[in-house]
Structure 1
Amino acid sequence: MTEPDKAFSVFIVIGEESGDQLGAGLVQALRERHGANVSFLGTAGSRMEAAGLTSLFPLEDVAVMGMTAVLGQLPTIVRRVYQTVDAVVNADPDVLVIIDSPDFTHSVAKRVRKRAPHIPIVDYVSPSVWAWRPGRARKMARYIDHLLAILPFEPGVHETLGGPPCSYVGHPLIERLAELRPAPGERTADAPSLLVLPGSRSSEVSRLLEPFGETVARVAAVHPGLEVMIPCVPHLAERIRAQTATWAVRPRIVLGEADKFAAFRKARAALAASGTVTLELAISGVPMAVAYKLDWFYRRVKDLHRFIPIASVTSMVLPNIILEDNVVPEFLDADVNADVLAPVVLDLLDGSEARARQLAAFSTLEARMLLDGGEKPRARAARIVSEVAGR
């Protein structure tokens, strides 16, 4: 065991906004655990930089999704991978923590393992091996020493698939229930309010904003007093504001986490891209319809029947997977259009059976996600990172 007064060096690698949120929480929890003894290096977004970590490069250089977008940014991404590997090896930290964004972070981890095999590597957030490419789990065991899962079913999946040692550390959202749950009077039936969430990546917004706008027009024709709110990340705000200016209902663009959660507490229903936001909506008790459009490359792969999910997984929506019930309707590719989506959203705004079924299912979600002993997710993550590093 390392002497307790020796400096503890942690290198954290992220590749997008979701990793920045988790990384900032981990930095805070490690500081609470180790005090001034711990130091940090790595890649960072605004939250981690506010916590005192200076990024090796702007996160936007690697925060892309979809094969089309990746190909356009590929030379920069490759350069940043090798820059990050060099930085890790030169720093020789007590532990390397990679967070989410597996296309980028795992490229770094595999190369670090080859060049500096003595550095322990922790992966915070499992790739979706339960949805597709299950063979990745066994490959990860070669270069990941411990995996921190944020979804309760993932340790069992990795054990079945031969993945690395895996612990459920809890989803960070369960620390924020009070911010997501509406107070009396915040959410009312007489003022229909719809959240529209086209994604946090430029490629997602490009594919979803138009059909979502057409859906809003259909819904507004039935609900003339409809309020539409679009929470978005700052770098997409002006683009979304411009592209929605001609919608039948001009949406209110919501910036900042506090205002976003306030919008969640007010909203009666949501139309959302698939992703972590669906879990936020479920915890907040907002019934939703979920949509996703694959880019041309992944659509072609799917059409050739090479996109093969694990048979037991029948949904891409996180609440459905956790609840083991396809209670949230989901629509892919050709089904993402106003003809299909508008009737579903209208049902959710009204007092329908579909709305009631979602709300009943969401009421059981918290119990499935809470940690034993009341430990907070970031604290459990920090504890395991410290243990893997021998601290």
Structure 2
Amino acid sequence: MSASVKVGLVVGEESGDFLGSALMASLKDTLGDRVAFCGTGGQGMQSQGLTSVFDIGDTSVMGITAVLQRLPLIIKRVHQTVDALVAENPDVVVIIDSPDFTHNVAKRLRKKAAHIPIIGYVSPSVWVWRPGRARKMTAYVDELLALLPFEPAVHKRLGGPRTHYVGHPLIERLDALRPGEGERSSLQEPHRVLVVLPGSRGSEIERLLPVFGEAVAKLGARHADLEVLLPAVSHLRERIAEGTKDWAVQPLILDGEAAKHKAFRRAHAALAASGTVTLQLAISGVPMAVAYKVDWFFRRLKDLNRIFPIVQATSMVLPNIILGRNVIPEYLDEQVTADALAQRVEGLLSDTAERRDQIATFQALDDIMKLPDGQHQSQAAARVVLDVLHRQGKL
């Protein structure tokens, strides 16, 4: 039997491929062989039956400098994707994350094929950066699927698209993130485990790894039995190994998600770059200090923001924003010094009021982020897609 429903998917990097493959699986659970897929995606989505228009490695770039270097190829891939979707004429298109790529596809698709409804999956961070994007999105996004529980209210306030909270994938991985009995040793013992996370991008590694190493050296001088674990993404492993070879306390470099999650389950504290990893740590109950150094472009914008406010958030740390309280200390640009980081982490490696406050506050995340009726994230996302198809008369 030929498929009666065609779903277009647009993904520009691996994080989107994870969400896309799970969404495809949930749609297939409901529609079976009545659904077919087209668009762009990675290996996960291809395993679910998608033939990608191109290799998404071409568009998987982050940071203004990297985007500018690959801009001609990205523009080519945008037009190529739009042309392919127009030719396939799907019943609905879901753009997933990577807004520099996927939203440019959506804008052009809306002009060329206005009859195709477009669903955005993962909200751009309008609550941090350029809030005017929310209203502009209504021209080319009909429904928005949000990973963070506060985002529907933000888009309603800013005049953005109708937004549905569909849950965050991390909240479904509690068993992997939370320590079992005996995995995280007692603070009564002298042994301490520190997990260090300098980022998942080359630019972050370059800016943060040296100062993190200096901070670790200061902590090692105070804790003779300090164990340092450093999970690394595969494409940056050699750079991290080179950058840490002279550290006073040699870190154990870990590969893969399973090893990273095990490190979280053992860790007493963390020193981390700002990013999704901070939410992983909070869910795992690991108190942390967070650092972030922006590149030259965003440093100029930060200066401009003092005159013309364009950045809205009072925190760059996801758990702080979700919880509505800046419980996790964060250090930005010139604040990122070895002395400041070491002093803060020192207090988190002992049974201090600050450590207890972070851990107690993290416990509220479950209730804030869980979905009603035991739904899974991909099921909640699929339900919105199916509702759009129903309204279109396709089901």
Q: Could you say which TM-score interval applies, normalised by the shorter chain?
A: over 0.9
Aligned to 1:57: 54
Deviation at 1:42, TM superposition (A): 2.7
Give the 3 Å change call, closer, same or farther, for CA 48–256 of structure 1 in structure 2. farther
- 2:52 and 2:249 map into 1 onto residues whose CA distance is 40
Deviation at 1:60, TM superposition (A): 2.8
Moved beyond 6 Å, runs of 4+: none
Aligned to 2:295: 295
**Alpha-carbon displacement from aligned partner over 1:93-132 (angstroms, at most 9, x marks no partner):** 1211111111111111111111111111111111111112
| Preserved contact between residue 347 and residue 355 of structure 2 (Cα < 8 Å) | yes
Deviation at 1:183, TM superposition (A): 0.3
Q: Which runs of 5 or more residues in structure 2 are unaligned?
A: none
Aligned to 1:322: 322
Aligned to 2:160: 163
Q: Which runs of 5 or more residues in structure 1 are unaligned?
A: none
Deviation at 1:6, TM superposition (A): 4.3
- 1:51 and 1:352 map into 2 onto residues whose CA distance is 48
Aligned to 1:244: 244
| More off after superposition, 79-88 vs 295-304 | 79-88
Question: Aligned AA for 2:34?
Answer: N
- 1:165 and 1:24 map into 2 onto residues whose CA distance is 23
Alignment map for 1:24-43 (pairs within 5 Å): 24-43=21-40
- 1:76 and 1:89 map into 2 onto residues whose CA distance is 20
- 2:58 and 2:364 map into 1 onto residues whose CA distance is 39
Name the Cα RMSD after superposition: 1.7
Aligned to 1:356: 356
| Preserved contact between residue 2 and residue 33 of structure 2 (Cα < 8 Å) | no
Deviation at 1:52, TM superposition (A): 4.2
Deviation at 1:192, TM superposition (A): 1.2
Matched positions, count: 386
Matched, 1:308 2:310: yes
Aligned to 2:121: 124
Residue 41 of structure 1 aligns to a residue whose secondary structure is strand
Give the 3 Å change call, closer, same or farther, for CA 54–226 of structure 1 in structure 2. farther
Residue 304 of structure 1 aligns to a residue whose secondary structure is helix
Matched, 1:262 2:262: yes
| Preserved contact between residue 61 and residue 77 of structure 1 (Cα < 8 Å) | yes
| Preserved contact between residue 194 and residue 229 of structure 2 (Cα < 8 Å) | yes
Aligned to 2:344: 344
| Preserved contact between residue 10 and residue 94 of structure 1 (Cα < 8 Å) | yes
| Preserved contact between residue 178 and residue 284 of structure 2 (Cα < 8 Å) | yes
User: How many percent identity over aligned positions?
Assistant: 59
Aligned to 2:82: 85
Deviation at 1:161, TM superposition (A): 0.8
Of 114, 126, 150, the residue aligned with 1:153 is: 150
Deviation at 1:353, TM superposition (A): 1.2
Of 16, 19, 23, the residue aligned with 1:22 is: 19
**Alpha-carbon displacement from aligned partner over 1:63-96 (angstroms, at most 9, x marks no partner):** 2222222211211211221122122212211211
| Preserved contact between residue 170 and residue 280 of structure 2 (Cα < 8 Å) | yes
Residue 70 of structure 2 aligns to a residue whose secondary structure is helix
Aligned to 1:182: 179
Matched, 1:139 2:141: no
- 1:105 and 1:278 map into 2 onto residues whose CA distance is 25
Deviation at 1:49, TM superposition (A): 3.7
| More off after superposition, 193-202 vs 43-52 | 43-52
Deviation at 1:329, TM superposition (A): 0.6
- 1:23 and 1:233 map into 2 onto residues whose CA distance is 21
Of 86, 96, 109, the residue aligned with 2:93 is: 96
**Alpha-carbon displacement from aligned partner over 1:141-171 (angstroms, at most 9, x marks no partner):** 1100100011111111111111011111111
Residue 259 of structure 1 aligns to a residue whose secondary structure is helix
Matched, 1:195 2:192: no
Deviation at 1:295, TM superposition (A): 0.6
- 2:18 and 2:348 map into 1 onto residues whose CA distance is 30
| Preserved contact between residue 301 and residue 307 of structure 1 (Cα < 8 Å) | no
Question: Aligned AA for 2:321?
Answer: I
Aligned to 1:382: 382
Q: TM-score, normalised by structure 2?
A: 0.93
Give the 3 Å change call, closer, same or farther, for CA 42–237 of structure 1 in structure 2. farther
| Preserved contact between residue 3 and residue 36 of structure 2 (Cα < 8 Å) | no
Give the 3 Å change call, closer, same or farther, for CA 172–289 of structure 1 in structure 2. same
- 2:72 and 2:86 map into 1 onto residues whose CA distance is 22
- 1:252 and 1:307 map into 2 onto residues whose CA distance is 42
Residue 389 of structure 1 aligns to a residue whose secondary structure is helix
Give the 3 Å change call, closer, same or farther, for CA 220–52 of structure 1 in structure 2. farther
Q: TM-score, normalised by structure 1?
A: 0.94
**Alpha-carbon displacement from aligned partner over 1:17-43 (angstroms, at most 9, x marks no partner):** 321222222122222222232222332
Question: Aligned AA for 2:115?
Answer: H
Aligned to 2:108: 111
| Preserved contact between residue 3 and residue 33 of structure 2 (Cα < 8 Å) | no
Give the 3 Å change call, closer, same or farther, for CA 260–50 of structure 1 in structure 2. farther
| More off after superposition, 301-310 vs 365-374 | 301-310
- 1:58 and 1:223 map into 2 onto residues whose CA distance is 47
